[in-house]
Amino acid sequence: MHRFRIEALADPQSLPRVAGFFAQRAIVPTSLSASLDRGWMRIEVAVANLAAQQAAILAAKLGETAAIAAVELEDSGGAMPAIPVGAPASVAV
């Protein structure tokens, strides 16, 4: 199980962009939740059955999406470092 913790602008398009990102790749999240905190939207997406490399690439690509400030990826083995906006798609796992 991989969890993507996303910090995005509190914008009406942020949540649909994140959901659409997974939908375009035919990935159905196990869960998706969002909350607002001082001008930011905190989005958490859980996805089962992803390879670690695939999850890392998805996190890096999410970080390049408009309105997303940061992405943190956690797998069942523990947290991985936050991936800043504009990070390259190839992330070492």
Q: In a 3-state reduction of DSSP, which class is residue 23?
A: helix
Residue 90 located in a structural domain:
no
The domain tally of the chain equals 1
Reported as a single tens digit per residue, the pLDDT across 32-87 is 999 999 999 999 999 999 999 999 999 999 999 889 999 999 987 665 555 554 44
The token pair that represents 40 in the structure block: 């930011």
> What is the domain range of residue 40?
2-84
Q: In a 3-state reduction of DSSP, which class is residue 27?
A: coil
Query: Domain of 7: which CATH number?
Result: 3.30.70.260
The per-residue pLDDT for 66 is: 86
Residue 29 located in a structural domain:
yes
The per-residue pLDDT for 61 is: 93
Euclidean distance between CA atoms 39 and 53, whole angstroms? 32
Residue 45 located in a structural domain:
yes
- The per-residue b/e assignment along 4-33, b for 16 or more CB within 10 angstroms, e otherwise, is bbbbbeeeeebbebbeebbeeeeeebeebe
